[in-house]
Chains A and B, each alone.
Chain A
Amino acid sequence: MSIAVLLILAIAAFLAGLGGSYLGVGGGVFLIPFMTLALSVNIKVAIATSLIGVIATSSGAASVYVRDHLTNLRLAMFLEVATTLGAIAGALVGLGAPDFYLYLVFGVVVLYAATTMVRVRETAKERAYRGGGKESPFTKRLKLSSVYFDQEDQGVYRYRVERPVTGFGVSAAAGLFSGLLGVGGGFIKVPAMNVLMRVPMKAAVATSNFMIGVTAAASAFLYYSRGLVDPGLAAMVIIGVFSGTYLGARLLEHAKSSNVRFAFALFLVILGTAMLARLFFPGVPL
């Protein structure tokens, strides 16, 4: 790999880490197309590198969120049971399924998530309301509901976690995508937590960031052992992402939740459109 390629990758990784820590995603959905299209990296190597980037994003950002009590540790662990199983299955299935169907499902799910996020506005009033809802018995048993401190208005918000079983199922799918496509799965997990399970946006982002590292690690070992990890590429991604999360985590904690939500919805729209566009322009190499 030439130095120029490596430096460009580091910059791309910085952006991925920045956006990733702010949105609760791993940056894989951006890095993989970037690596395969702009840098002509082999797709499997790109997936392996991306998984490592996801771990770096996760460890970098999640560390800050856990310390600042944004992350819901119990919810994360509960959902990780699903995602790790999904991730191993996904990595093993590998190239089993025809790409066409993957992109179709991918694009549809993402666009659906985007529209649901745009529809619901999150304000401080809504966050307070969440504390007063009815708790499902399952949530109560697992003590999933929690509280978080929001820097935006220096407020402490209690929230209840709803529909944990559905969330579990969706997380398994997120894990599957992670192992299959080298993404962190955050783009599914954040809407699942925020819209489906009614976790406030910042807590959802923080928890997702915490989870994606574990999900990615579950399949990263498999890719590493098959010699698909290019250390030079991986190094640039790790270093770039590390710097990006440093900035991104700070930005998230002081941001307005509605801004974060909007940014996320926008991200999903672009992602979904790109995924579906790939269906109609199969000439684009991947």
Chain B
Amino acid sequence: MQQRASNLRRAVVAEVEDMNRLIYHVLRAGVVVSVAILLFGFVLVAFTGRPIPEQSISPRALGRPLFTFTPEGYFSLGVLILIFTPVVRVFLSLVSFVRERDRQYVLMTAIVFANLLVSLFLLA
């Protein structure tokens, strides 16, 4: 029984460790990918001769500008990916708490996630 309990504890700690590393990679990747896309946007500006964009494009209208390699499209994409990174992070925390069967925190994280979604879909 004791052995089982300590094995379980060790497994949980390992899970949490994994989650910390995962969150680290996601956060880091979010910024790195965003920066890479923005730099690509600057490359496009240099190659197409179009000015550095001053108007951002709504996510719904992003298809065409991306397909036709306009700077506006890629700058907007880079910014949007960055804004989304914390949302992904919260979602990962939610999964992590569900795995730990921590009801209180599943509830809290769900509320935070819901707030973000409300901000994204209803109000924006």
Interface residues of A (CB under 8 A from B): 1, 6, 52, 55-56, 58-60, 62-64, 66-67, 69, 73-74, 77-78, 80-81, 84-85, 87-88, 91-92, 141-143, 213-214, 216-222, 224-225, 227, 229-232, 234-235, 238-239, 242
Contacts and interface: CB of A to CB of B under 8 A. Distances in A.
Point out which of A52, A58, A62, A220 has the most chain B C-beta atoms below 10 A from its C-beta. Answer: A220
Interface residues of B, number: 52
Given A221-B83, A239-B39, A81 B55 contact: no
Given A63-B24, A213-B85, A231-B55, A80 B38 contact: no
Contact of A225 (B78, B84, B109, B124): B124
B62 interface: no
Nearest to A216: B86
B86 A217 contact: yes
The dominant DSSP class at the A interface is helix
B56 A229 contact: yes
B89 A238 contact: no
A78 B31 contact: no
Interface in B28-48: 28, 30-32, 34-35, 38-39, 41-42
B88 to A, nearest CB: 10
B52 to A, nearest CB: 4
Contacts, number: 157
B30 to A, nearest CB: 5
Given A56-B31, A60-B31, A222-B123, A217 B87 contact: yes
Contact of A224 (B42, B83, B89): B83
A239 B35 contact: yes
Nearest to B75: A231
A59 B88 CA distance: 11
A58 B88 CA distance: 14
Contacts of B116: 84, 214, 217-218
Nearest to B20: A66
Nearest to A71: B20
Given A63-B25, A214-B86, 17 more contacts: A52-B79, A55-B85, A60-B31, A64-B24, A66-B23, A92-B123, A213-B85, A214-B116, A216-B86, A217-B119, A219-B119, A221-B83, A224-B80, A230-B56, A231-B55, A235-B38, A238-B82
19 contacts: A55-B83, A59-B85, A63-B23, A66-B27, A81-B111, A85-B115, A142-B104, A214-B116, A216-B86, A221-B119, A222-B123, A222-B124, A224-B56, A227-B56, A231-B76, A235-B41, A238-B82, A239-B35, A239-B39
